[in-house]
Amino acid sequence: MRTLFLTAGLILSAGFFGQTKPVVKTKATIDNKKEEDRASIKSMAGVYKVSFDFAETFSTDTGYKYHPRYREWGIEYVLLVEDSPYKIALQHLLIINDSIIIKHWRQDWMFENKEIYNYFKDNEWVKTTLTDAQAKGTWTQKVYQVDDSPRYQSFGTWVHIDGKHFWEGVNDSPLPRREFTKRNDYNVMKRHSRMEIFNDGWVLNQDNEKIVRNNGIDKVLCWEKGIERFTKGYYNAGPAIKWWEKQKQYWADVRIAWEEVYVKTRDLKLADKIDKKKLYESLFSLGDKVCKDTAYAQGSAKADIKKVIDAYLKVS
């Protein structure tokens, strides 16, 4: 009798699950998801107190000496510089002592993007093409240096569940600015990043591998935990707004010049210095010069911008 009941139960279960229809994502569902993604990305714009906390956590080398923990903070103005159905661009401006403005990093978000620059090492990036299946439903985060040259890029899917809104991506990158002038014991950082939106701001949570890449072989020097926390507040963004109004057309021309490079260049390598100057020093100097006295007319320094970038560019 027990066998009979078990058999009947299995038959009923099979019949029940056999009748379940797969969930079909309609165009409306996909569009709603995309708009929710866009809202999360755009919510990162604003004025924040940003804190940077990093600590090395583990190394398989028992003789490795951990470097000191890093902690810093500042006021950051994140502004929307481009907003289209398939691309959102956010420019970060660092505000120091309410008067000094530093053009900081930029993040572009591109929907179902298929071309990514993967960092190799030694200021060299290799263009990779994703398949349709890989790109479907994803957003690529393209992070640029202060001079709008490439830094790192990766793709992933925004997740909205149980009141949480987050995106995750993995990529190789150059050394972070806090270390690239101080260390030469590793040459690649593999970032495992999670960006999560909260009511009071957003957090970039990182689990990083510091890698020695040589002759096609990667050796993990150590792991690092990093948290960049952007907390909303009533901070004075006036100086940043004023600075950006004066310089924004110049930097629009810089982005256009770089985009021309990215379109035609498969793999690219950048020189570290030209005439004892780094690329960001040359472009910042040019920007200060052409924006000093009169309002900058977009396009007026395009030839000079291209000349500066070409001097550092080594096409491979």
Q: Supply the pLDDT for residue 1.
A: 47
Domain coordinates of the chain in residue numbers? 46-315
Q: Supply the pLDDT for residue 2.
A: 46
Q: Supply the pLDDT for residue 18.
A: 46
Instruction: Please give the Cα distance from 89 to 80 (Å, whole number).
Output: 6
What string of pLDDT tens digits covers the 316 residues of the chain?
Answer: 444 444 444 434 444 344 455 555 676 677 899 999 999 999 999 999 999 999 999 999 999 999 999 999 999 999 999 999 999 999 999 999 888 999 999 999 999 999 999 999 999 999 999 999 999 999 999 999 999 999 999 999 999 999 999 999 999 999 999 998 899 999 999 999 999 999 999 999 999 999 999 998 999 999 999 999 999 999 999 999 999 999 999 999 999 999 999 999 989 999 999 999 999 999 999 999 999 887 788 899 999 999 999 999 986 5
Q: Characterize 70-106 residue by residue with b for buried, 16 or more Cβ atoms within 10 angstroms of its Cβ, and e for exposed.
A: eeeeebbbbbebeeeeeebbbbbbbbeeeeebebbbb
User: Quick one: tokens of 26?
Assistant: 């309609």
Sheet holding 188-198, edge to edge: 150-156, 139-144, 100-111, 87-96, 70-84, 46-58, 217-232, 201-214, 188-198, 164-173, 159-161
Give the closest residue to 155 by CA, choosing from 92, 110, 124: 110
Instruction: Please measure the distance between the N-terminal and C-terminal CA atoms of the chain and give it in whole angstroms.
Output: 76
Q: Supply the pLDDT for residue 296.
A: 87
Q: Supply the pLDDT for residue 224.
A: 98
Number of Cβ within a 10 Å radius of residue 185: 11
Instruction: Please give the Cα distance from 232 to 209 (Å, whole number).
Output: 30
Q: Supply the pLDDT for residue 257.
A: 97
Instruction: Tell me the HSE value of 210 on the side-chain side, using a 13 A CA sphere.
Output: 25
Name residues whose C-beta falls within 8 Å of residue 236's C-beta, 6 or more positions apart in sequence: 75, 95, 98
- Phi/psi class of residue 243: alpha, beta or left (left: φ > 0; alpha: ψ in -120 to 50)? alpha
